[in-house]
Amino acid sequence: MRFTQAYSHHNGHDQWRDREIDEWLTDVFERPDISIGKSTSTLIRDHVKTELAAQGWAYDVRIDQNFDLTVFGVKDDLAFHLQTGNISRAPYDLLKMQHLFQCRRIEAAALALPMKAAANRMGSNIANFERVMSELMLFDRTITVPLFLIGFE
């Protein structure tokens, strides 16, 4: 697995760079010993969870006490989410991070997804960087959270 591409939505990358953790986050996806393919989603998720926990991130954080909706990780005023599942989940991920931003619980977020070719190797209809990036461009006035989008393969 390796970091491939990033997209900065509403200056999201700047928020991570200002905190001097943008390179750390992209380095999380530099794991040549992890090959992307069928049944690797759990391996990827476990690796990322271990990396976040080592840096003090809380994971599987509820966005509201009354709902069982979570983001992958939260630390200080940042949220992080990893999506390696069905593309239908990606809009929910964006909505959850937008909610945290509008409630002033976070100042910025990051979302990591496989590139389209890697997503195709993982299975059918898997969320991918290219599609989410293009949809963010379409919904730039709806999804206003500063977002650092990360693509890996």
Token pair, residue 112, equals: 């990591």
Strand (E) positions, 18-107? 58-62, 70-75, 78-82
Decide: 130 and 115 in contact? Cβ < 8 Å: yes
Q: What percent of the chain has pLDDT over 90?
A: 99
- pTM, entire model: 0.96
pLDDT, tens only, 130-151: 999 999 999 999 999 999 999 9
Cβ neighbours of residue 116 under 8 Å, at least 6 residues apart?
128, 129, 130, 131
Q: Which CATH architecture has domain 3-130+139-143?
A: 3-Layer(aba) Sandwich (3.40)
- Each residue's pLDDT tens digit, 17-37: 999 999 999 999 999 999 999
pLDDT digit string, tens, across residues 99-138? 999 999 999 999 999 999 999 999 999 999 999 999 999 9
Residues 6+ apart with CB under 8 A from 60: 70, 72
The residues that bridge with 31 in the sheet, in sequence order, are none
Q: How confident is the model at residue 51 (pLDDT cuts 50, 70, 90)?
A: very high
* Sequence spans of domains, the chain: 3-130+139-143
